[in-house]
Amino acid sequence: MTVIDFLQKTNLDNSMLIGYYGGGNYGDELLLEVLSNLLARRGVNNMAITYQRPETYKSMHHDFGFKLINIYDRLAVIKAALTSRNILIGGGGLWGVDINFNTLLLSLFLFVSRWALRKKIYLLGVGYYGSTSWMGRLAAWLAGKAANVIIVRDEESVTNFGRLHKHVYQDSDIAWYIPRLDLASYTQEANHLQQRMPVGDKTLLLALRRPQAKSQSQDFLRFNKLISWLIKSNPTQPVILVVPESGVKDRSLHQEIRGWRRRHKNLRIMEMPYNPLALYLYIKQNKDRLSMIAPQLHLIMTAHLTNVPFLPVAYDNKVWQLLDQIGVPRKKRLTIRTVTGYEMQEFADGLGGAK
């Protein structure tokens, strides 16, 4: 069963959709925007979406007529759960190296909703990886035992969830459905990005990664320093630094990036808020003039879907699974822990890489 099959066969009226939406993360906002398109096309009514900062929603998303619930308003979340027929988890590698206490609480919430409140629980396009911690495995057990149906996005996830549940189906990440969407309504926003950030000569599109788990801190600090070194070492190379998260998440990192911009005339910065599908179109419009170095799964997926060359750097099992799916040979892959400045510079010199 695919996500599309599920949407066509299941009555999702009067449902609540939960994800890490509203934090300004490109991948999470992309998942929400794609899924919202699919739900609206299906004609789903009375859908409530949990969102971290509802006041920022319209700056990153189109209005599909769905109700927004502040995820920090616990009373509102509980009320929505009580009045909803279904609870959906809308994509993401929740049970992986990025696991945190909030994911454990979410998984417990799903377990209680299924067995105490008798709600139907659906996990759509999700991931569960061996790279997670003991807390992640506990959270995945709770979510797996809560779910009525689990649709996962890769082989490792189907194996891991398959140990917990008999109704596990392998499909793909929800963002893989972008080519099925009508993106005409996003053209104006993509053109606005083009006006703000025109691409003339061959340009490097770079992205930093904020560490979310303590085990990642040194690796990502090292990676970010390499990105800084690469910008400094190529003063005539046009560079766009995509900041794939809101500044609310890490103000010190954003202040550091703005310092880079003041020091390097070749550097431009693209920060949230922007609609994720508008950024997707912007990258597609400039595909012949861009090359990307970014460790984020959904930026790599965007590069692949738009045919932009990219340096295949993986930081978690979920990225390895994606690289398997798109056919990047293992000998060409790099890890966030071992990638070198030489390899980045070699990529920049050739402005090419995996496709």
195, 290: one domain: yes
Look at 243-247, 263-267, 279-283 and tell me which has the smallest mean pLDDT. 243-247
Q: What mean pLDDT is reported for the chain?
A: 92
Q: In the prediction, which pLDDT does 354 show?
A: 47
Q: Is residue 62 part of a domain?
A: yes
Q: How far, in Å, CA of 275 to CA of 185, rounded? A: 11
Q: Is residue 102 part of a domain?
A: yes
Q: Is pLDDT of 122 > 70?
A: yes
pTM: 0.94
Angle of the 341-350 helix axis to the 217-233 helix axis, nearest 10: 40
Distances (CA, A) of 97 to 25, 115, 134, 200: 16, 28, 11, 38
What are the helix (H) ranges across the chain? Answer: 3-9, 26-42, 57-60, 74-83, 101-115, 134-146, 155-162, 187-196, 217-233, 251-263, 276-285, 297-306, 317-325, 341-350
Q: In the prediction, which pLDDT does 219 show?
A: 85
3-state helix, strand, coil in the chain (%, to 5): 50, 20, 30
pLDDT tier, 248 (very low <50, low <70, confident <90, very high otherwise) = low
DSSP string covering 317-333, please?
Answer: HHHHHHHHHTT--GGG-
Q: Is pLDDT of 352 > 60?
A: no
Cβ(50)–Cβ(71) under 8 Å? Answer: yes
176, 194: one domain: no
Q: Is residue 224 part of a domain?
A: yes
**Number of domains observed in the structure of the chain:** 2
26, 131: one domain: yes
CATH of the domain at 69: 3.40.50.2000
**How far is C-alpha 157 from the chain's CA centre?**
16
Distances (CA, A) of 247 to 20, 51, 210, 257: 16, 17, 11, 11
205-229 pLDDT, tens per residue?
Answer: 999 877 665 656 788 889 999 999 9
173, 34: one domain: yes
**How far is C-alpha 190 from the chain's CA centre?**
19
27, 114: one domain: yes
Domain final position from 122, 145, 180: 180
Q: In the prediction, which pLDDT does 247 show?
A: 54
Q: What is the mean pLDDT of residues 241-266?
A: 77
Query: Higher model confidence: residue 53 or residue 248?
Result: 53
Residue that is written with structure tokens 């209005």 in the block: 63
25, 141: one domain: yes
DSSP 262: H
Domain final position from 150, 180, 210: 180
Q: Is residue 19 part of a domain?
A: yes
* Burial profile 74-86: b = 16 or more Cβ within 10 angstroms, e = fewer: eeebeebbeebeb
Q: Is residue 220 part of a domain?
A: yes
Domain coverage including residue 225: 189-350
9, 105: one domain: yes
Q: What is the mean pLDDT of residues 190-199?
A: 94
How many C-beta atoms lie closer than 10 Å to residue 331's C-beta?
Answer: 5
Q: In the prediction, which pLDDT does 213 show?
A: 55
Q: Is pLDDT of 278 > 50?
A: yes
Q: Is residue 355 part of a domain?
A: no
Query: Higher model confidence: residue 177 or residue 253?
Result: 177
Instruction: List residues bridging with 87 in a β-sheet.
Output: 16, 121
Query: Higher model confidence: residue 67 or residue 271?
Result: 67
pLDDT tier, 258 (very low <50, low <70, confident <90, very high otherwise) = confident
Q: Is residue 33 part of a domain?
A: yes
81-101 pLDDT, tens per residue?
Answer: 999 999 999 999 999 988 999
Cβ(208)–Cβ(242) under 8 Å? Answer: no
Look at 251-255, 279-283, 342-346 and tell me which has the smallest mean pLDDT. 251-255
253, 315: one domain: yes
Q: In the prediction, which pLDDT does 214 show?
A: 60
Which residues have C-beta within 8 Å of that of residue 199, sequence separation ≥ 6? 238, 240, 286, 289, 290
Q: In the prediction, which pLDDT does 118 show?
A: 96
45-81 pLDDT, tens per residue?
Answer: 899 999 999 999 999 999 999 999 999 999 999 999 9
Query: Higher model confidence: residue 272 or residue 311?
Result: 311
Q: How far, in Å, CA of 340 to CA of 222, rounded? A: 10
41, 163: one domain: yes
Q: Is residue 239 part of a domain?
A: yes
224, 115: one domain: no
Look at 109-118, 219-228, 253-262, 305-314 and tell me which has the smallest mean pLDDT. 253-262
Closest CA to 342 of 309, 297, 311: 311
pLDDT tier, 355 (very low <50, low <70, confident <90, very high otherwise) = very low
271, 334: one domain: yes
How many C-beta atoms lie closer than 10 Å to residue 134's C-beta?
Answer: 8
147, 206: one domain: no
Q: What is the mean pLDDT of residues 308-337?
A: 94
Q: What is the mean pLDDT of residues 153-177?
A: 96
Q: In the prediction, which pLDDT does 200 show?
A: 87
Domain final position from 180, 199, 223: 180
